[in-house]
Amino acid sequence: MNIALLLEMAADAASDRTALVCDGKRWTYAELLAAARGAYELIVDSGASHVALLDESSEASVIALFGAALAGVPYCPLNYRLADADLAGLLGRIAPALIVGDAARVARLVPDQGHVVYPRAEFTLAAQEAVASDGADYDTGEGVAIQLFTSGTTAAPKAAILRHSNLVSYILGTVEFASAEDSDAALVSVPPYHIAGIAALISSIYAQRRIVLLPAFAPDAWLKLVDAERATNAFVVPTMLSRIIHALDKGVHADIGSLRSIAYGGGKMPLELIHRALDLFPDTGFTNAYGLTETSSTVALLGPDEHRAAHGASDPKVRARLASVGKPLPTIELEIRGESGEVLPHGQPGEIYVRGDQVSGEYREKSALDAAGWFPTRDAGYLDEDGYLFLSGRADDVIVRGGENISPGEIEDVLLTHPAIADVAAVAIPSAEWGEAVGVAAVLRGGCDQPADDDLKELIRARLRSSRVPDRILFVPSLPYNEMGKLLRREVKLILAD
C-alpha cells in the first residue's frame, strides 16, 4: 500500500481542513493532494530515478515526498549542511534525480550528472499548475518510498531504504485515522532529511493534525510560532530543548500554554535538562522516542506519565527511568544479545535487536536483517527488570582494551559528576600494549580551574576500575556535534590521535 493513500484518505475525509502551515501560507488536504499529483507529472516526465530535496523543510518537501510516492520513485532528502565533496558523492549515487532546492549548488558541484533541478518556489508552482494526465498510473506502493543517507557518525553514509510497507505498518499500527481535534497542531522543526521529520509529517496527515513547519530551527522563532499557531505538539532534539529553555531564561516572551506534548529523541538527553524541562513545563507531557532511520522512526518510548513518575520519585529505581528510552512499542519485538548472538537476561548489556513490520533494516547495497528478520541496531543497551530500555552508546563505540569491552558512557557519566567538567567524550585510542586504550576529550566548565589529570584518573579508578582509567586526557574548547546534536566520535578520535 502506497503512503500517498494516507494523504488521499485525509483529503477524502476532510478536504478543506488545514493540513499544513509554512511561512504564513496555509494548505488544505485537497490542495496538498492536488500538488502532489502535479508533482507526479513532473517526476514521471523527468525520467528521474530518485526525487531529492536539497533544501530546508517547506510545503515543497511535503509535495515532493508524496509526488515521489505516487510516481514510485524513492524520495531522498539530503543534508544540505554536508561539505561540497560529500554532497557531490551522494548526488552521484542517486543520479539522475529530480532535485528540489539549491539549483546553483547542484550546477556548481555536479553539472554533468543529468539531474533535473527546480528551485523551491518553481517546483511548488509547477506542481500546482501541472495538469493531471488522464488515467495517471499511480504506483501501488510495493517498492521503496524513502531513501535516507545515514548521518555517518561512525563511517561513510549508508543509503537506508524504507519501503511503503514499513512506513504504512508504522502509521497504521500507531496512529488512529482522523483522531486529531480541530485545534491540534504539530510544530515540526527537525530537518527534512531526518526520519523523525518524515514520520511527523505522515503521522500528522493521517491523524489530520495540522502541521506547522519551521524551516530552520531557532529558539526565538520556535517559541513565537508555538504562540502564533497555538501548537499543541512538538518534536525536538535535546539540543533544541536546551536552546529553547535558554531563550526563556533570557526573557524571550511567548505564550506557550497550548503545548500539551513535547516529544524528543535523536540524541542523548542530559538528565539535568529533562528535570529542568519537567519543572518549567508542569502541564506538558514529555515523551522520549527511541528509533533509527532503519526502523521507520520510533521503536521504544517513555511516555508522559512515566516521565512525571520518575521526576517525582524517591525510589532510585523509578527515578533512574528518566534516563531510559522506555518500553518497546507493542508492535515491536526487542532483544538484547551478546557477542555470540545469545539473548541476554535483564540487566546485562549487549546489542539491541529489533523485529517488526516497520523495521526495514535494509540498505541499497544489502539487507542487514538476519534469517529470522531481526535487525541488529548496532546500538548497545540493556533492559531493566521491568522491561525499560537503557541505551549505552553505539556498539561500534565500545572500547576494547586487552579483550575487555568498555562502554564510553560509563566513563563519561563518572567524569560528568566532576564539577569542573561541562562535557566529555571517551573514545578508543591506539595502544601498543592493549590494542585499544581509553582516551578522553573534556570541556572545562566556565570559571573553573582545569583539574589535574591524576585527579580525574583517580576519580575513575575509585568509581569504576583500573582498566577504565584513561591513558590520555585532553581539554578542548568544545566537542564536535552534528546539527542534530549527535556527538561525532570519529572526530573526537582524530583530535585525540594528534
Partner 1 sequence: MKPGSRLKSSACDTEVVVIRCGSGTIQCGGAAMSESGADAADLSPDFAGGSVMGKRYVDAAGTTELLCVKPGKGSLALDGTVLALKEAKPLPASD
Q: Which residues bind partner 1 (CB under 8 A)?
A: 1-2, 5, 8-9, 12-13, 140-142, 165, 168, 172-179, 186, 196, 199-200, 203, 206, 209, 233, 235, 261, 263, 265, 285, 287, 289, 291, 297-298, 301, 303-304, 329-331
Q: Are 38 and 62 in contact (CB under 8 A)?
A: no
Shorter beta-carbon distance to partner 1: residue 147 or 232: 232
Shorter beta-carbon distance to partner 1: residue 291 or 470: 291
Amino acid found at 335:
E
Contacts of 12 (CB under 8 A, 6+ apart): none
Shorter beta-carbon distance to partner 1: residue 171 or 398: 171
User: Residue 224 Cβ, how far from partner 1 at the closest point, in Å?
Assistant: 22
DSSP symbol at 357? T
Shorter beta-carbon distance to partner 1: residue 106 or 300: 300
Contacts of 455 (CB under 8 A, 6+ apart): none
Amino acid found at 376:
P
Q: Which residues pair with 146 in a beta bridge?
A: 75, 162
Query: Measured between alpha carbons, how far is 477 from 445 in angstroms, rounded to an integer?
Result: 10
Query: Measured between alpha carbons, how far is 129 from 150 in angstroms, rounded to an integer?
Result: 34
Strand order in the sheet with 350-355: 333-337, 350-355, 375-383, 389-394
Shorter beta-carbon distance to partner 1: residue 263 or 496: 263
User: Residue 17 Cβ, how far from partner 1 at the closest point, in Å?
Assistant: 14
Chain-centroid distance, C-alpha 3: 20
Shorter beta-carbon distance to partner 1: residue 310 or 398: 310
Q: Is it true that the peptide bond before 96 is cis, omega within 30 degrees of 0? A: yes
Shorter beta-carbon distance to partner 1: residue 106 or 198: 198
Q: Which residues pair with 285 in a beta bridge?
A: 261
User: Residue 79 Cβ, how far from partner 1 at the closest point, in Å?
Assistant: 19
Q: Greatest CA separation found in the chain?
A: 76
All three cell numbers of 344, joined, read 541476554
Closest-CA residue to 288 (of 425, 357, 211, 305): 305
Query: Measured between alpha carbons, how far is 292 from 150 in angstroms, rounded to an integer?
Result: 9
User: Residue 232 Cβ, how far from partner 1 at the closest point, in Å?
Assistant: 9
User: Residue 391 Cβ, how far from partner 1 at the closest point, in Å?
Assistant: 16
User: Residue 408 Cβ, how far from partner 1 at the closest point, in Å?
Assistant: 27
Query: Measured between alpha carbons, how far is 140 from 445 in angstroms, rounded to an integer?
Result: 56
All three cell numbers of 160, joined, read 537506508
Rg for the chain (alpha carbons), in Å?
A: 23
User: Residue 476 Cβ, how far from partner 1 at the closest point, in Å?
Assistant: 33
Coil, helix or strand for 491?
helix
Shorter beta-carbon distance to partner 1: residue 234 or 426: 234
User: Residue 264 Cβ, how far from partner 1 at the closest point, in Å?
Assistant: 9
User: Residue 444 Cβ, how far from partner 1 at the closest point, in Å?
Assistant: 36
Within 55-163, residue ranges assigned H as helices are 59-71, 84-93, 103-109, 120-129
Shorter beta-carbon distance to partner 1: residue 124 or 297: 297
Query: Measured between alpha carbons, how far is 474 from 494 in angstroms, rounded to an integer?
Result: 12
Shorter beta-carbon distance to partner 1: residue 225 or 420: 225
User: Residue 98 Cβ, how far from partner 1 at the closest point, in Å?
Assistant: 24
Shorter beta-carbon distance to partner 1: residue 14 or 126: 14
User: Residue 304 Cβ, how far from partner 1 at the closest point, in Å?
Assistant: 6
Shorter beta-carbon distance to partner 1: residue 119 or 173: 173
Contacts of 469 (CB under 8 A, 6+ apart): 438, 457, 460, 461
Shorter beta-carbon distance to partner 1: residue 58 or 298: 298
All three cell numbers of 45, joined, read 516526465
Residue 300 phi/psi, 5-degree rounding, is: -145, 150
Residue 25 phi/psi, 5-degree rounding, is: -95, 140
User: Residue 31 Cβ, how far from partner 1 at the closest point, in Å?
Assistant: 20
User: Residue 263 Cβ, how far from partner 1 at the closest point, in Å?
Assistant: 5
Query: Measured between alpha carbons, how far is 59 from 67 in angstroms, rounded to an integer?
Result: 12
CA angle 359, 341, 362 (to 5 degrees): 25
Residue 198 parent element (H or E) = helix 195-207
